[in-house]
Amino acid sequence: MTPHPSEILKSSLFPPRCVICNIATNNEKYEAICDSCIRGYTPLSGFSCPECGKRIPTLHSICHRTNFLLCASQLYSNRPTEILIQHLKFLYIRSAAIPVAHMMLQTLNSVIQEIPFDLSKTLLTPIPLASRRERERGFNQSALLAKEIHSCIPQLIYAPKILKRIKYELPQTKTHTQKERNINLNNAFSADIPTTIQGLPIILIDDVYTTGATIKNAVKKLKEKGAGKIIVLVGART
C-alpha cells in the first residue's frame, strides 16, 4: 500500500508508534503495530456462521444456510483488533489497514482448500461508502483492505465498481435495533455486473461484521445482478 502524502510527512516529523502500546515501531512491514503486539494479534481460521456466530471448521458443518459464506479474521472483542480497526475507521490511520488485511489473508488461506474457486476468475470487491461519507473520511477503509489483499494475491480480479452505495444513510452505529438497521440500509446499494463476469465468485471485503445488515443488503443486490458464490471476508465480527 502506497503511503498517503500526509502520512509520509507525519512519519518524518513524528516517528510511527504502535497504536496498541504506544512504543516506537521499527517494523517495516507493519508501521501501525510493534513486533510484540503483533504476536498477540493472531487470526482465526475457518468460517463463521453469519446468523449465530458459531465457528464453522468446514463447509460440512454449516448450521445456518445463507446465500454467502463468512470468514472473520478475529472477534472485535480481541483488543488489538478493536484498536487497529478504530484507528483505521475513526482516527483515519491508513497504515492500520495493513496488519488487518494480512490477518484477513491468513484467515482466507485457512479455508482456501474448502472453496472450489479459481482465484484468477474470482472478483475482489470492497463494500463501498456513500460518496459523501468517503469525502468526509478521505478514504474507504474497506477499499484499503481490499487493495492490500489484492497486492498479495494479484491474480484476483479487483472489481470495485460492480457495487455502489447510492444512499447516504445514518452510520449503523447510530441505529439501535435490527429493524432500524434494515430500514436504514433499504435500497442503499446498487449493483452492475457486466455479462462477461456474471457468475464468477466474489470475495466481498468489509472491516467489521456486526448484525450483517450491510452485508446482506449488498449480497442481495449482487445476487440479483448475476453474482456467483460470495465469500464475505471481514477484519472482525462482533
Q: What is the 3-state secondary structure (H, E, C) of the chain?
A: CCCCHHHHHHHHHCCCECCCCCCECCCCCCCCCCHHHHCCCCCCCCEECCCCCCEECCHHHCCCCCCCEEEECCECCCHHHHHHHHHHHCCCCHHHHHHHHHHHHHHHHHHHHHCCCCHHHCEEEECCCCHHHHHHHCCCHHHHHHHHHHHHCCCCEECHHHEEECCCCCCHHHCCCHHHHHHHHCCCEEECCCHHHCCCCEEEEEEEECCCHHHHHHHHHHHHCCCCCEEEEEEEEC
The string of pLDDT tens digits covering residues 13-44 is 677 899 999 998 877 788 899 988 988 888 99
Does position 9 have pLDDT exceeding 60, yes or no? no
pLDDT recorded at residue 10: 57
pLDDT recorded at residue 175: 64
Q: Rounded to an integer, what distance in angstroms lies between the CA atom of residue 189 and that of residue 223?
A: 12
- Under the banding of pLDDT at 50, 70 and 90, the label for residue 47 is very high
Q: What is the mean pLDDT of residues 204-218?
A: 96
Could you give the domains of the chain? Answer: 43-237 (3.40.50)
Does position 108 have pLDDT exceeding 80, yes or no? yes
**Amino acid (one-letter) located at 119:** L
- Under the banding of pLDDT at 50, 70 and 90, the label for residue 94 is very high
pLDDT recorded at residue 5: 64
Q: What is the mean pLDDT of residues 57-62?
A: 77
Q: Considering the chain, what is the average pLDDT of its residues?
A: 90
Q: What is the pTM of this model?
A: 0.89
The string of pLDDT tens digits covering residues 162-206 is 999 998 765 656 666 767 776 777 789 999 999 999 999 999 999
Q: What is the mean pLDDT of residues 44-57?
A: 90
